């Protein structure tokens, strides 16, 4: 067999053994980094490093554990050298003046958390899909970013991915005792931030779909009264890259009426899903009348209405979620 044929056969074997883990590694890197775009880059780097060392892989651990070792350490290197990703609600108290437009952060001043398309990580197994969605809920991912990087890795490996303490220690190159101690501290810090979903509805739940449809209709019709029926009385509203955010349905509605909704037909929203939650790709009509990509909005639906609205004002996200420019 020629060198070229041997290398081709080796690449085929590598792809066959490692390719099935790409989606779950993408979710892992997203939990660590808080950005879909960065997660893509981290997974790419993981596979490049894995291929370079594949010839020396001796099977002492499973392929999955070996890949997670590489991915976790790639993530740790990346997140330890940049500032923590946040949402506006992590920067300050809610704004008490919805009659003025929100103030944006300066360029490069804040590293914003981003949404994750459900279609990137959806497992074929319905039961596994539910677990996967729960583990990338925005409230949890936000809380994870508050943890020191190694504590974050320990908690994800142990509580989300169900690696044992000895396996986690091998992945991180530390001791089992250190893993147990780090996990205890991470759980305590996470509990203080209360990231658990509060009766959050699954995206496929008819009540969740109805809330998303109502939100879309309200924006497309510029109908604040319809929004009043969608939002809970304690709803919150925030949008990157703005520092200000709003608490309480009355404040949210006043801000939207004064600064956002505009005239009927100014907005177009297309239903999708992000982070295991109902979402929509958002387009806005420009001064020439053409619809342009605006960003992604993610809702937290409950049995009593939408409790949280987060809009990620980044036109590139619309393409990330698989939607085209419209005109």
> Most confidently modeled of 107-116, 187-196, 198-207?
107-116
pTM over 0.85: yes
Q: Give the model confidence (pLDDT) of 176-193 as tens digits.
A: 999 999 999 999 988 877
Same structural domain, 302 and 220:
yes
The mean of the pLDDT values for the chain is 90
Q: Give the model confidence (pLDDT) of 54-70 as tens digits.
A: 888 776 778 999 999 99
Same structural domain, 276 and 129:
no
Last residue of a domain, one of 166, 193, 220: 193
Higher pLDDT, 318 or 190: 318
Same structural domain, 102 and 216:
no
Looking at the chain, the number of H-run helices and the number of E-run strands are 13, 8
In this predicted structure, the answer to whether residue 127 has a pLDDT above a threshold of 60 is: no
List beta partners, residue 104: 242
Looking at 115-194, list the stretches that DSSP marks H as alpha helix, in order from N- to C-terminal side. Answer: 126-134, 138-145, 149-155, 165-172, 176-193
- CATH code, domain carrying 302: 3.10.450.50
Confidence (pLDDT) at 128: 56
What is the domain range of residue 233?
206-320
Residue 160 is assigned to a structural domain of this protein: yes
Q: Give the model confidence (pLDDT) of 224-256 as tens digits.
A: 999 999 999 999 999 999 999 999 999 999 999
Same structural domain, 69 and 100:
yes
Helix (H, G, I), strand (E, B) or coil at 224: helix
Q: Choose among 56, 60, 50: nearest CA to 17.
A: 50
State percent of the chain over pLDDT 90.
69
Q: Give the model confidence (pLDDT) of 74-87 as tens digits.
A: 999 999 888 889 99
Q: How many folded domains does the chain comprise?
A: 2
User: Once rounded to an integer, what is the mean pLDDT over residues 37-53?
Assistant: 95
Same structural domain, 175 and 260:
no
- Other C-beta atoms closer than 10 Å to the C-beta of 38 total 20
Same structural domain, 105 and 8:
yes
Confidence band, pLDDT 50/70/90 cuts, at residue 131: low
Residue 28 is assigned to a structural domain of this protein: yes
Same structural domain, 159 and 220:
no
Same structural domain, 172 and 247:
no
Asked which of 2-16, 92-106, 122-136, 204-218 is least confident by mean pLDDT, the reply is 122-136
In whole angstroms, what is the distance from residue 312 CA to residue 324 CA?
A: 17
């Amino acid at each position: 067999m020629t060198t070229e044929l041997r290398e081709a056969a080796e690449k085929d074997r590598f792809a066959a053994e490692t390719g099935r883990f790409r989606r779950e590694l993408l979710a892992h890197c997203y939990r660590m980094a808080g950005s879909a775009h960065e997660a893509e880059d981290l997974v790419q780097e993981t596979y490049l490093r894995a291929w370079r060392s594949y010839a020396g892989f001796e099977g002492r651990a499973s392929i999955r554990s070996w890949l997670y070792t590489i991915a976790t350490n790639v993530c740790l290197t990346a997140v330890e050298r940049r500032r923590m990703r946040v949402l506006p609600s992590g920067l300050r108290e809610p704004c008490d003046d919805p009659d003025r437009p929100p103030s944006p952060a300066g360029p490069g001043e804040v590293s914003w958390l981003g949404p994750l398309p459900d279609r990137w990580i959806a497992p074929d197994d319905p039961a596994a899909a539910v677990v996967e969605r729960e583990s990338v809920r925005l409230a949890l991912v936000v809380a994870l970013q508050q943890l020191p990087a190694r504590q974050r890795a320990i908690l994800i490996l142990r509580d989300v991915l169900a690696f044992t303490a000895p396996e986690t220690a091998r992945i991180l190159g530390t001791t089992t005792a250190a893993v147990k101690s780090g996990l205890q501290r991470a759980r305590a810090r996470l509990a203080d931030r209360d990231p658990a979903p509060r009766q959050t509805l699954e995206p496929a739940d008819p009540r969740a779909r109805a809330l998303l449809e109502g939100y879309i209709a309200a924006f497309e019709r510029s109908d604040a009264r319809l929004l009043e029926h969608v939002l809970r009385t304690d709803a919150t509203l925030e949008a990157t890259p703005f520092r200000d955010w709003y608490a309480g349905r009355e404040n949210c509605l006043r801000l939207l009426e004064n600064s956002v909704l505009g005239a009927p037909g100014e907005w177009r929203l297309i239903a999708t899903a992000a982070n295991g939650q109902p979402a929509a790709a958002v387009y806005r009509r420009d001064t020439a009348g053409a619809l342009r990509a605006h960003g992604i909005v993610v809702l937290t639906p409950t049995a009593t209405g939408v409790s949280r609205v987060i809009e990620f004002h980044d036109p590139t996200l619309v393409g990330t979620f698989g939607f085209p420019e419209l005109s």
